[in-house]
Copies of this chain bind each other. A is one copy, B any other.
Amino acid sequence: MVTLINVFTVEPANQQRLVGLLIRATESLVNRAPGFISSTLHRSVDGTKVTMYAQWRSAQDYQAMRQDPGPLPFLEEPLTISTFEPGLYKIVRTFRPACERPQRR
């Protein structure tokens, strides 16, 4: 399994529009691609970034989706209002709290 962490940098005035474009691209195309496992879309509190955190079965599956001409327009429109820094990762380790405490609510 591989993890994609793709950071989009955007003008705060365009953050909501970018979020909408990425939802549309994911729901209409990416989530039907072979090897797609799950993804989570995040908006930065300061308005300047939108980050997609995604798990795929393999780097090859992700590359095949990116090279498919079907999704291309959906993937290119976000880049008209943002810059994009992709990252392909392997998970090293997951951490939990050292000692569980009752959490205040």
Which A residues form the contact surface with B (CB < 8 A)?
2-3, 5, 7, 19, 23, 26-27, 30-32, 34, 36-46, 49, 51, 53, 57, 59, 85, 87-99, 101, 103
Contacts and interface: CB of A to CB of B under 8 A. Distances in A.
27 contacts: A2-B45, A3-B42, A5-B5, A7-B85, A19-B92, A23-B92, A27-B95, A30-B95, A31-B95, A31-B96, A31-B97, A32-B97, A32-B98, A32-B99, A38-B94, A38-B96, A40-B91, A41-B91, A42-B90, A42-B91, A42-B92, A43-B92, A44-B87, A45-B59, A45-B88, A46-B88, A53-B53
A42 B4 CA distance: 10
Contacts of A5: 5, 7, 42, 51, 53
A93 B23 contact: yes
B7 A93 contact: no
A6 to B, nearest CB: 11
Contact of A31 (B23, B37, B45, B98): B98
